[in-house]
Amino acid sequence: MRLLLNVIWLFFCGFWMAVGYVIAGVICCVLIITIPFGLASFRIANYALWPFGRTIEPRRDAGAGSAIGNLIWIVFAGWWLALGHVVTGLLLCVTIIGIPLGIANFKMIPISLVPLGSRIVPTA
């Protein structure tokens, strides 16, 4: 079932969401001081391609630096990525088949807003 959902996800919204994260990651890596944001964006792009079977959990070793970084991320990149998830999730929830995909989009909003201090792990 995960494979089927991931393939449908990839076709309808995963590819475009991953492109958005890769663009944000490239921009962040070009501006040398924001390389940590770029790396986080590339991690989320990987998750946006194939989300079913993986989940997000907070890192225990994240400190004040990641909190400050998350505030900067929200201002410059996080809000429009989260908005993309909201719009895509609402559009997918219009159909019965798209409801699980819409819910998956809504579950990605927190990591799109605050990517530092979180990690993506496989579900057990």
pTM of this structure: 0.82
What is the amino acid identity at position 93?
C
The closest alpha carbon to 6, from 72, 44, 54, 41, belongs to 54
For residue 55 the two structure tokens come to 């989940």
Can you state the percent helix, strand and coil of the chain, rounding each to 5? Answer: 75, 10, 20
Q: What is the pLDDT of residue 22?
A: 92
- In whole angstroms, give the CA distance from residue 34 to residue 105: 26
- Categorize the per-residue pLDDT at 106 as very low, low, confident or very high, splitting at 50, 70 and 90: very high
Query: Is the model's pLDDT at 3 over the cut of 90?
Result: no
- In whole angstroms, give the CA distance from residue 113 to residue 121: 18
Please, what is the average pLDDT of the chain?
87
